[in-house]
Amino acid sequence: MHKTTRITVVLLFAAWTVDYIDRLVVNLALPAIGDTFDLAHGERGLIISAFFLTYALCQIPGGLLADRFGGVRMACSALALWSVFTGLTAAAWSFVALLAVRCCFGAAQGLFPGAALNTLSARSVPEQRMTANGWMQSSNAIGGLLAALLASALLTAWNWRVMYVTVSVLGVLVLLAVVRWMPAPLPPEQTGQMVRRARGATAAVLRSPVMWGFALLFFSYDVVIWGLNSWSASYLVEQRGLEIRYAGLLAIAPTLAAAVGAVVGGRLSDRFEGRPRKIIVPAMVVVAVLLFLLPRTPSVATYVVCGTLLSGAAGLCYLPSFSVPLRSLPPKLSGVASGMILFGGQLSGIITPTVFGTVVDHFSYTAAFSVLITGPVLAIVAVLCVPQTTERFLSRFRHIGTNTKEDIDARGAEHRV
């Protein structure tokens, strides 16, 4: 990869890592927060869903703002805002106040994903874009791992309020690094930026059934991810009798497997020139089987092995959900396109944690894990319906990054070469 791309990946990797630390420490803190405010499982799920409500609503506006004002500027604004609200979480004096802060926190983080993808698209060539994204998005798993380790240590030594004050400082440090070292974009002729964006191109992307198909695909993927991320720690503490400090340690293998899966999924997406069904269909079949087995494992050790395999298989599906749009569209449309896809995933974040907690309250954890199998089923259906290559994707649009149908056909031919 180009030096500019590598530096951009490193900086965005750090920003995404802090993003996930800040949002995921709540999963280990849920039992303590529940005790503080005397909350049922359904109410604890609302704490997570409150974040995803505003996070989802800000995905598309965040992408539009990144396309309009620049990815780096919007990424830095998001970093500053979410670090403030992470710190303010520690001051919550009631369940309602906590929900309000979580909503503000979600809105701030919702500005970041589209900005990050826009920033990387302007600093990478199309042929390597998903590989670069794979390395960047592997930060999600690393952030989840560090969130588990930091939360375990801080909750054991102090309490959840001290934990939130501590992790808010990380965002400030990464913000300073991005401002100081983010390189300038690559020349437009290398990134596809020279392709003219026709009037109404943004609206065409927003109205496209094809793009909403990719959003459904990512929604399905995130049913699995947010179900497991939100409730695995509580399950191990409440059902397996594990101490919270050990729950973080048991997350090491699954999160590393998810990171490897993200990198491999991005690399395979470039090698296959898109074609997400080649990756997602077999991977999601494996995920469905492992979801059924997970709560039925006879010991904590076998639970970790099953969860590790599951996380690796699911991680393979992350980047293929974005591969065709991000390889096909010019960078100036990458913000809105990625915002739409991410919006689908965050809708899952709104729905899944609360549904999971409600099923636990009325039935059992085993039933709740079984409900998550709807994610792989929907993912397989969705990926079989969306275009698999740049040529087929661009054929669905009249106005995207060019002014004529002939220009679109020519660009598709360039990608095939």
Q: What is the pLDDT of residue 132?
A: 84
DSSP assignment letter at 295: G
> Distance (Å, rounded) from C-alpha 87 to C-alpha 84?
5
Check if the beta carbon of residue 111 is closer than 8 Å to that of residue 77. Answer: yes
Q: What is the pLDDT of residue 189?
A: 67
Among residues 185, 215, 212, 205, the alpha carbon closest in space to that of 64 is found at 205
Answer left, alpha or beta for residue 159, where phi above 0 means left and psi between -120 and 50 means alpha: beta
Among residues 306, 338, 322, 323, the alpha carbon closest in space to that of 228 is found at 306
Q: What is the pLDDT of residue 11?
A: 93
For residue 162, how many other CB atoms are within 10 A of its CB?
A: 13
Q: What is 69-81 written as a DSSP string?
A: H-HHHHHHHHHHH
Q: What is the pLDDT of residue 416?
A: 39
Q: What is the pLDDT of residue 406?
A: 40
Among residues 72, 393, 64, the alpha carbon closest in space to that of 202 is found at 64
Question: Could you identify the residue written with the tokens 């709104």?
Answer: 350
Angle (CA) 397-400-401 rounded to 5° is 140
Query: Which residue intervals of 125-192 are DSSP H helices?
Result: 129-157, 160-181, 188-191
Question: Could you identify the residue written with the tokens 């069904």?
Answer: 277
Q: Taking the model in full, what pTM does it have? A: 0.71
Q: What is the pLDDT of residue 401?
A: 47
> Distance (Å, rounded) from C-alpha 172 to C-alpha 96?
27
For residue 68, how many other CB atoms are within 10 A of its CB?
A: 13
For the chain, list residues with pLDDT below 50.
194-195, 401-417
Q: What is 272-294 written as a DSSP string?
A: TTS-THHHHHHHHHHHHHHHHHG
Rounded to whole angstroms, what are the CA distances from 390 to 275, 354, 361?
Answer: 9, 37, 46
Return the amino acid letter for 81.
L
Q: What is 209-234 written as a DSSP string?
A: HHHHHHHHHHHHHHHHHHHHHHHHHH
> Distance (Å, rounded) from C-alpha 276 to C-alpha 370?
25
